[in-house]
Amino acid sequence: MSTEHRFLAVYLGSMSGAKMAAWRALPEAERKAKEQEGMAAWHGWVEKHQAVIVEMGGPLGKTRRIDGSGITEISNALTGFTVVRAASQEEAARLFEDHPHFAIFPGEAIEVMPVLPIPQM
């Protein structure tokens, strides 16, 4: 029996990138049709993988950075997340091949990383 691990998948995109510029340049009716196609495909992806989805996650909003200097509003490429379980990082990454985030929507990539155990003291 294989041991399953948790993996965080982070959806990346750019509001100023070429994919977003092309998306915004689409006629409104065409963009709306692609949005509907993308959401249907995303729901299909969720149905297909629901047995391994640990946390559906969701879209991410504006970011606040907190450090020794205080709190500031920043922007980054993070647009959403999902947590899945798989036997390996390779297996987890394969779950996201041709994902609607970048195959239909103007998202740029998905990064998958292991959620490691908290070290014991």
Give the model confidence (pLDDT) of 2-18 as tens digits. 589 999 999 999 988 89
Please give the average per-residue pLDDT across 101-109, as a whole number: 96
Whether 101 shows a pLDDT value over 70: the answer reads yes
Do the beta carbons of residue 104 and residue 36 sit within 8 Å? Answer: no
In a 3-state reduction of DSSP, which class is residue 117? coil
Paired tokens of 69: 């200097």
Arch. (CATH architecture) of 5-114: 2-Layer Sandwich (3.30)
State how far the Cα of 115 lies from the Cα of 46, in Å rounded to an integer. Answer: 20
State how far the Cα of 22 lies from the Cα of 38, in Å rounded to an integer. Answer: 16
Average pLDDT value for the chain: 95
In tens, the pLDDT along 72-84 reads 999 999 999 999 9
Domain residue ranges in the chain: 5-114
